[in-house]
Amino acid sequence: MKKIFLLLAVCFVLFSCGADETENIRVRASLKATGTGSIRASVFVEGPGGNSLSGALVTVQDSRSRILQLNYDSVACSYNGLTEELPGSTNYTVEVATVLSPKNITLTVPYSKIEQAPDVIIFQDSSGNSALQGQAMNGSQPIQIGWSLSTDAAVYEVVIRTALRTVYAVSTNANTITVPANTIPEGSYLLEISAQRIHGDIYFRTSPFCSVSFINSSLVSCDVE
Find the largest Cα–Cα distance for the chain.
94
Q: Which CATH number fits domain 120-224: 2.60.40, 2.60.120, 2.30.30, 3.10.310?
A: 2.60.40
- Domain edges within the chain: 2-112, 120-224
pLDDT band, residue 24 (cuts 50/70/90): confident
Average pLDDT of the residues in 18-22:
44
Q: Taking Cα atoms as reference points, which of 52, 70, 71, 94 lies closest to residue 209?
A: 94
More confident residue, 10 or 56: 56
Domain 2-112, what fold?
Immunoglobulin-like (2.60.40)
Average pLDDT, the chain: 89
- At 120 the pLDDT is 96
- At 105 the pLDDT is 96
Instruction: Using DSSP bridges, classify how beta strands 89-97 and 57-61 pair: parallel, antiparallel or unpaired.
Output: antiparallel
| pLDDT at residue 94 is higher than 60 | yes
Q: How many helices (H) and strands (E) does the chain have?
A: 1, 16
- At 22 the pLDDT is 52
Query: Per-residue pLDDT tens for 168-180?
Result: 999 999 999 999 9
Strand partners, 26: 46
Q: How far apart are CA 17 and CA 37, in angstroms?
A: 43
- At 50 the pLDDT is 86
Element (H, E) at 124: strand 120-125
In the 8-state DSSP scheme, what is residue 69?
Answer: E
